[in-house]
Amino acid sequence: MPGHFEPLPGGGAAVALDEVEISIIRSLAVQLLELIGPGPAEDAGEDPLAQLFAEGPSEPPADPVLRRLFPDAYTDPAHEPGDPVEAEERRAHSAEFRRYTENDLRAGKRENALAVIRTLDRIASSAEGGEAVLELSPEGSRQWLGALNDLRLAIGSRLEISDEDDTDPLYRLPDDDPRKPMVLAYLWLGGLQETLVSTLMP
């Protein structure tokens, strides 16, 4: 899937996508929305105004993908301090930080994913039997960039990719490996993300 973003005069970016590409990205964005879940104000019986002052969770999510999307701010399981007092202090700071930031982070990620879905829905009918050109404003480009990053983090977590060096063995997967479609999607989204970043650079 060779699609790549190109800058638009005056800001923003454009990319040509076919029906299959639109369907894949939209499906992944919908799955991301389902994983992130509804916002507090969307829960039945909740007062939206009260949600402005609502506290978020203090514990990391159980799902490994959500833990990747919403990591602890002050702790790193791979580099736990040897001093138990320091470790406990870091956990307390992380819990406090999460309590006051995670709701906003989730809302931002939901908005980015929704922006992707809405823009794809606008061009879907034009792509029937061919390609359609998706044009994004500078703000739309930033929302897409955030969503593409989240999608790659989610897929990378499922593939147990902790950094880009982990992708080398994935290039050599046989075609019948069940991870192959996810790997192809991960690499393709990476190409889209990279070219979109380049359109935002001065």
Q: What percent of the chain has pLDDT over 90?
A: 45
Number of neighbours of residue 144 by Cβ within 10 angstroms = 25
- Model confidence over 182-193: pLDDT tens digits? 999 999 999 999
The residue type at 108:
G
Query: Cα torsion for 35, 5, 162, 70, to the nearest 10°?
Result: -40
pTM exceeds 0.85, yes or no = no
Whether the per-residue pLDDT at 18 is higher than 90: the answer is: yes
Query: Would you place residue 141 in the very low, low, confident or very high pLDDT band (cuts 50, 70, 90)?
Result: very high
Q: Per residue in 91-113, pLDDT tens?
A: 777 777 777 778 888 899 999 99
Answer with the residue of higher pLDDT: 133 or 43.
133
**Which amino acid belongs to residue 192?**
L
**Other Cβ atoms closer than 10 A to 190:** 18
Q: What share of the chain is helix, strand, coil (3-state, %, to 5)?
A: 65, 5, 30
CA atoms in the 13 A half-sphere facing the CB of 105: 19
CB of 158 within 8 A of CB of 57? no
Q: Is the pLDDT of residue 53 over 70?
A: no
Quick one: which of 101, 103, 99 has its CA closest to 51? 103
The per-residue DSSP string of 131-191 comes to EEEEEE-HHHHHHHHHHHHHHHHHHHHHTT-SSGGGGGGGGG--TT-TTHHHHHHHHHHHH
Structure confidence at residue 177 (pLDDT): 86
Please give the mean pLDDT across all residues of the chain: 83
Determine the pLDDT at residue 165.
62
pLDDT at 1 over 50: no
Give the residue carrying structure tokens 């039945």: 44
pLDDT of residue 152: 95
State residue 44's pLDDT score.
41
Q: Using the structure block, give the residue that is written with the tokens 């509804």.
A: 38
* Mean pLDDT, range 60-88, rounded to an integer: 73
User: What are the structure tokens assigned to 181, written together?
Assistant: 């479609």
Give φ, ψ of 198 to 5 degrees: -65, -30
Kindly state the tokens that stand for 111.
């908005």
Of the candidate ranges 15-29, 41-55, 97-111, the one whose mean pLDDT is the lowest = 41-55
The encoded tokens of residue 191 equal: 């190409």
**Residues 6 or more apart whose Cβ sits within 8 Å of residue 133:** 14, 15, 16, 123
How much is the pLDDT for 32? 96
Give ∠ CA 125-128-199 in degrees, rounded to 5.
75
* Percentage of the chain modeled with pLDDT above 70: 80
Higher pLDDT, 61 or 139: 139
Q: Which residue has the higher pLDDT, 158 or 62?
A: 158
- Which of 2, 25, 32 minimizes the C-alpha distance to 109? 32
